[in-house]
Amino acid sequence: MQKTEKNSDSGLLSHLNEAQRAAVAFCDGPSLVIAGAGSGKTRVLTYKIAYLLEQGLPPYYILALTFTNKAAREMKSRIADLVGEKRARRLWMGTFHSIFARILRSEAEAIGFQSNFTIFDSSDSNNLVRLIIKEMELDDKQYRPGVVHGQISRAKNSLITPAMYAANTEIIQYDRMAKRPQLFEIYQRYQSRLRSGNSMDFDDLLMYTNILFRDHKEVLEKYRNQFQYILVDEYQDTNFAQHLIVKQLADAHHRVCVVGDDAQSIYSFRGANIDNILKFKSNFPGTQIFKLEQNYRSTRNIVNAANSLIKKNSEQIFKNVFSENEEGEKIEIRSAFSDFEEALIVSNKIARMRLEKYAGYNDFAILYRTNAQSRAFEEALRKNNIPYRIYGGLSFYQRKEIKDIISYFRLIVNPNDEEAFRRIINYPTRGIGAVTVAKITSTAQRHNVSLWQVVTAPLEYNLDVNTGTAKKLEGFYSLIQGFIDKNETMNAFELAQEIIKNSGIAKEAYDDMTPEGMSRAQNMQELLNAMNEFVETQQEQGEENIRLADFLSEVSLLTDQDTDNEADNERVTLMTVHSAKGLEFDHVFVVGLEEDLFPSAMAKSEIRGLEEERRLFYVAITRAKKSCTITYAKSRFRNGQTNPATPSRFLKDIDSSYIEGGENDFITRTAPADDFWGSMREQRLQNTMSNHTITPKRVVPVQRVASSTPLSKEAQELEVGHIIEHERFGRGVVTSIEMSGNDRRAFVEFESAGKKQLLLKFAKFSIVE
């Protein structure tokens, strides 16, 4: 950022530019800070909090809501640098979900929950929806669990309860049109199932907070008084439920500051409503608006290119983002034949740039639209011996073996948790199958109790099972009850060890000597390590009895992004554009710029969707500090098939003057000017084999030859009969070599690409034999 951090107790404001200073110093009413990409948004938030503390506001009177746990942690530590660890620690700072989960736990009784409620993650939610659909004997093609849950989620984020949903003729009409007339009932059942299991899903954390505030004014009053100043980061990505929470809490004193950038709103699929930021001023009369327009992160070229892109969107708050940094390199757009070659090009460029620019691996990031794209890059990086770290995808806590163990924890802490019960009633196998579980379920429903309660007293509920099964159920009951008893005295780590040992999980894990089994065992060990660490750090901070519940509530809102170990940071970062929000890297590769991928096929039917995709691309480009490379492939392997792909429409949205070789159309501008012939061939090739699939059989790292250097060793030694591996055309045999002017030219018969002629001065290949 623009100035070096100084730990000074006077003149905090002197570290800021004029716009930032104004935003920080205004504390008497509602304010909206429109912060362009890289304009020091986090800096404003941290300094503002530090400033409030300096003014004498106690830290526990400040509520600061961030988008991710990681953002909260980072901000906290930066504030600690300014005002000291002690005060920083007492701030109420975290994500909406984690802060209000905490509040809901302490106010649980008011809304009819116990404070040990479980939090369902999305896969738990989907499972429950799937189960209900099955119970209602509905067609799960018509009612796809994911889609149904998505609809429920949207309803909750708009604070539409099941009752309101069923009463809303417009929605009912819509569902009927969509051939899902029973959706309201699924929602109803889903919600009451969660409640009877003393569980909440992610959306409930926000919805019940609103219900709590609505129905218990004294509670609302309490938190209104406590949170004397409220700050919200990434406001453009809040939904209605979040907006209303903020509004209610701030309504008495109006000391609220929200920060965001409408141009970076990328979460509408999750209910985020861009209107929250666009209409903030009318929601909070007297709002002061501050605009941060100077970008300190990126070169002028990158900022200008991004601006030219985002200009193509219609709805936005006017702002003029500019940079006073050096002009920097132009954006390079490169095409590849296939996704594999795309990965190869990127990994080669990383290897080269690392040497040329003395960059560390952690200065590089590869950003893609979908998680599935990571695979090709992983492979190419591994082959080039480039260390990398993937964020997202299957997070550690989503792995089956981990979720199974966590389900034990959940059932112990909250025995009414139906989802957890189902997961482990027969894991490891103990002879309690689907039939028995179905009986338990119907018995439970008949008596309106939880599955666990049936198991605690099968006779009382007339559970109809034979003696053998009854015995097995008894065994399961005493196993879990034993853990519940031990939970009274043991700390989280000790109990976890006990569970893994006594449940039979350990035996199963050790017996499995397959590589997958061993990695599962390893993951379990890692979970234990994490728990041990959790317990120890909590103890260091003076907490005494660290119970399973403490670990669980910590862990259920954790995502992969939050668990990064600082130790191995010399790595290239691979992540989706979504998860890159708020981060920055010296050198960024935005990959897969193809129609139906980026923009996603899902989004392009509507203008709104398309504009969101464009904002996403904007976010991707603005992550870059020094250089940005964009790639696309002409064929891509997706869903088990190789399909032809066309370049993304977004490429045309970037003003060509900011693009390397920008005067040419990007279709022909395949590689830097050194490869004119190559691009001609590619075009011909694409025309003649539009429906063919091109997948190199082997991907071999290819030595790159800079065009300015004299002939490479490879090129000098090349002879007729050699077999070569070409960066783009794959493997081929040299049929003849001739001189053309001052240059040698080789004729090569490629296995898949056919006959080609290569100018040896420029060709990128290696000799195989």
Partner DNA sequence: GTAGGCCCCTTTTTT
Partner DNA sequence: AGGGGCCTAC
Catalytically annotated residues: 41-42, 233-234, 264, 623
User: Least distance in Å: CB of 530 to DNA?
Assistant: 17
- Per-residue DSSP letters for 545-609? ---HHHHHHHHTT--GGG---GGG-SSEEEEEHHHHTT--EEEEEE---BTBBTTBTTTTTSHHH
β-bridge pairing 118-120 and 256-260: unpaired
Q: Which residues are annotated as a binding site for ATP?
A: 35-42
Residues 216-275 that bind DNA (CB under 7 A): 266, 269-270
What binding mask, one character per residue, do residues 376-405 give for DNA by CB under 7 A, x or -?
----------------x-------x-----
Please return the burial class of 618, using the count of CB atoms within 10 Å of its CB with bins 0-12, 13-18 and 19+: buried
Can residue 426 be called a binding residue for DNA (CB under 7 A)?
yes
User: Least distance in Å: CB of 603 to DNA?
Assistant: 5
Q: What is the dihedral of CA 529, 531, 534, 536, to 10 degrees?
A: -70
Can residue 442 be called a binding residue for DNA (CB under 7 A)?
no
Can residue 601 be called a binding residue for DNA (CB under 7 A)?
yes
Q: Which stretch binds DNA (CB under 7 A): 481-489, 490-498, 559-567, 587-595?
A: 559-567
Q: Which is nearer to DNA, 96 or 290 (by Cβ)? A: 96
Q: Which is nearer to DNA, 269 or 747 (by Cβ)? A: 269
Q: Which is nearer to DNA, 139 or 738 (by Cβ)? A: 139
**Contact (Cβ atoms closer than 8 angstroms) between residue 509 and residue 521:** yes
- Between CA 722 and CA 730 the distance in angstroms is 14
β-bridge pairing 572-576 and 199-201: unpaired
Can residue 146 be called a binding residue for DNA (CB under 7 A)?
yes
Phi, psi dihedral angles at 407 (to 5 degrees): -65, -35
Q: Which stretch binds DNA (CB under 7 A): 26-34, 518-526, 625-633, 638-646?
A: 638-646
Can residue 210 be called a binding residue for DNA (CB under 7 A)?
no
Residue 196: both structure tokens together: 């009877």
Can residue 515 be called a binding residue for DNA (CB under 7 A)?
no
- Per-residue DSSP letters for 280-349? HHHHSTT-EEEEE-EE-SS-HHHHHHHHHHHTT-SS------EE-S---PPBEEEEEEEHHHHHHHHHHH
Q: Which is nearer to DNA, 266 or 630 (by Cβ)? A: 266
Can residue 430 be called a binding residue for DNA (CB under 7 A)?
yes
Q: Which is nearer to DNA, 228 or 642 (by Cβ)? A: 642
Among 68, 276, 450, 622, binds DNA (CB under 7 A): 68
Can residue 693 be called a binding residue for DNA (CB under 7 A)?
no
Q: Which stretch binds DNA (CB under 7 A): 353-361, 422-430, 650-658, 722-730?
A: 422-430
Strand ranges (E), 212-306: 229-232, 256-260, 288-292, 294-295
What is each CA distance from 281 to 94, 230, 285, 705, in whole angstroms? 25, 16, 6, 56
User: Least distance in Å: CB of 289 to DNA?
Assistant: 27
Can residue 360 be called a binding residue for DNA (CB under 7 A)?
no
Q: Which stretch binds DNA (CB under 7 A): 138-146, 286-294, 414-422, 443-451?
A: 138-146
Among 87, 97, 193, 764, binds DNA (CB under 7 A): 97
Tally of CB atoms within 10 A around 739: 8
Please return the burial class of 581, using the count of CB atoms within 10 Å of its CB with bins 0-12, 13-18 and 19+: buried
Q: Which stretch binds DNA (CB under 7 A): 34-42, 61-69, 190-198, 454-462?
A: 61-69
User: Least distance in Å: CB of 169 to DNA?
Assistant: 27
Residue 423's closest CA among 436, 435, 440, 410?
Answer: 410
State the helix-helix crossing angle for 400-413 and 515-540, rounded to 10 degrees. Answer: 40
Q: Which is nearer to DNA, 142 or 288 (by Cβ)? A: 142
Can residue 312 be called a binding residue for DNA (CB under 7 A)?
no
Among 7, 429, 688, 691, binds DNA (CB under 7 A): 429
User: Least distance in Å: CB of 486 to DNA?
Assistant: 26
Among 39, 335, 559, 712, binds DNA (CB under 7 A): 559
Can residue 604 be called a binding residue for DNA (CB under 7 A)?
no
**Contact (Cβ atoms closer than 8 angstroms) between residue 542 and residue 535:** no
Among 286, 431, 475, 672, binds DNA (CB under 7 A): 431
According to the 3-state scheme, what is the secondary structure of 387-445?
CEEECCCCCHHHCHHHHHHHHHHHHHHCCCCHHHHHHHCCCCCCCCCHHHHHHHHHHHH
Catalogue the long-range contacts made by 425-432 (C-beta closer than 8 Å, 24 or more residues apart).
Answer: 425/451, 425/476, 428/503, 428/504, 428/505, 428/507, 428/508, 430/472, 430/475, 430/476, 430/504, 431/469, 431/472, 432/469, 432/472, 432/473, 432/476
User: Least distance in Å: CB of 712 to DNA?
Assistant: 34
What binding mask, one character per residue, do residues 465-504 give for DNA by CB under 7 A, x or -?
----x-----------------------------------
What binding mask, one character per residue, do residues 339-358 give for DNA by CB under 7 A, x or -?
--------------------
Q: Which is nearer to DNA, 279 or 400 (by Cβ)? A: 400
Q: Which stretch binds DNA (CB under 7 A): 18-26, 219-227, 248-256, 426-434?
A: 426-434
**Contact (Cβ atoms closer than 8 angstroms) between residue 624 and residue 587:** yes
**Contact (Cβ atoms closer than 8 angstroms) between residue 241 and residue 210:** yes
Can residue 573 be called a binding residue for DNA (CB under 7 A)?
no
Residue 570's closest CA among 336, 364, 268?
Answer: 364
Q: Which is nearer to DNA, 102 or 761 (by Cβ)? A: 102
Q: Which stretch binds DNA (CB under 7 A): 25-33, 483-491, 553-561, 706-714?
A: 553-561
Catalogue the long-range contacts made by 512-519 (C-beta closer than 8 Å, 24 or more residues apart).
Answer: none
Tally of CB atoms within 10 A around 255: 20
Total chain residues near DNA (CB under 7 A): 49
**Contact (Cβ atoms closer than 8 angstroms) between residue 189 and residue 223:** no
Which residue has 């299991």 as its token pair? 197
Q: Which is nearer to DNA, 274 or 432 (by Cβ)? A: 432
- Between CA 389 and CA 241 the distance in angstroms is 34
Q: Which is nearer to DNA, 283 or 642 (by Cβ)? A: 642
Radius of gyration for the chain, computed over Cα atoms and rounded to the nearest angstrom? 29
Q: Which stretch binds DNA (CB under 7 A): 556-564, 626-634, 679-687, 724-732?
A: 556-564
Among 64, 88, 121, 213, binds DNA (CB under 7 A): 121
Cα end-to-end distance, the chain, whole Å = 51
Q: Which is nearer to DNA, 242 or 301 (by Cβ)? A: 242
Q: Which is nearer to DNA, 247 or 638 (by Cβ)? A: 638
Burial 508-521, CB ≥16 within 10 A → b, else e: bbeeeeeeeeeebb
Which residue has 């008596």 as its token pair? 447
User: Least distance in Å: CB of 395 to DNA?
Assistant: 7
Helices (H) and strands (E) in the chain, counts: 32, 22
HSE, CB side, 13 Å, CA atoms: give it for residue 619. 28
Can residue 122 be called a binding residue for DNA (CB under 7 A)?
yes
Q: Which residues are annotated as a binding site?
A: 35-42
User: Least distance in Å: CB of 238 to DNA?
Assistant: 11
Among 115, 445, 532, 600, binds DNA (CB under 7 A): 600
Which residues would be at the binding site for DNA (CB under 7 A)?
67-69, 95-98, 121-122, 130, 140, 144, 146, 202, 266, 269-270, 369-372, 392, 400, 426, 429-436, 469, 557, 559-561, 575-576, 578-579, 600-603, 609, 638-640
